[in-house]
Amino acid sequence: ILKSLENSLNKPTSLRAFVQFDSQFTEKVNDIFVTLRWKQPEFTEIIQGYTVQCFVMEDLKEIQICDDKNITTLEHTVHNLKPNTTYYFRIRAHTEVIAGLYTDFINVSTTHENPIPKLLLVTDAGIQILDLDSNTINNLIKQLAIYIRCRLLCPRT
């Protein structure tokens, strides 16, 4: 019965990875991290969370470097990765009763940066960052025109 339940749980889809180098405006890289994103699989049961596993190959041996459980969002970031290294990631969803199948591995190289694609938008509505991957907007400053007019015309005390 458990095997048939497990097989009925679909894998997460559209697994993708973005590599970023955190250098804090210096030449030295302080952190290399990978942000993983995926789409929710279709289940008849309520998904409780996800498990992310990551491996690296050293001397032809698979070494697990993370096995993060109970992730409740469709995104997860793994920090403190080594430069010029290939990592392998996979994800699975789980319900209250059982865990589904893992996705196929994706391999991610930390040789080059491949950040989440974002655009800075400046409009009368404010300053926003558009995440082109998730198609979401983060408001930095709302109502830019009102803010500028007030700074120019409002009496200063």
Buried b (16+ CB within 10 A) or exposed e, 110-138: beeeeeeeeeeeeeeebebeeeeeeeeee
Same domain, 17 and 1: yes
Same domain, 89 and 27: yes
Q: Is residue 153 part of a domain?
A: no
Tokens read off for 150: 């007030």
> Where in the sequence is the domain holding 123, given as residue range(s)?
116-146
pLDDT band for 141, please (50, 70, 90 cuts): confident
Q: Give the residue from 78, 82, 86 showing the smallest Cα distance to 37.
A: 78
Number of domain units in the chain? 2
Q: pLDDT for 59-98, tens place per residue?
A: 899 999 999 998 999 999 999 999 999 999 999 999 988 8
Same domain, 102 and 138: no
Residues 78/85, Cβ–Cβ less than 8 Å: no
User: Is pLDDT above 80 for 110?
Assistant: yes
For residue 5, the domain's CATH number is: 2.60.40.10
Helix%, strand%, coil% for the chain, nearest 5:
10, 50, 40
Give the global pTM: 0.81
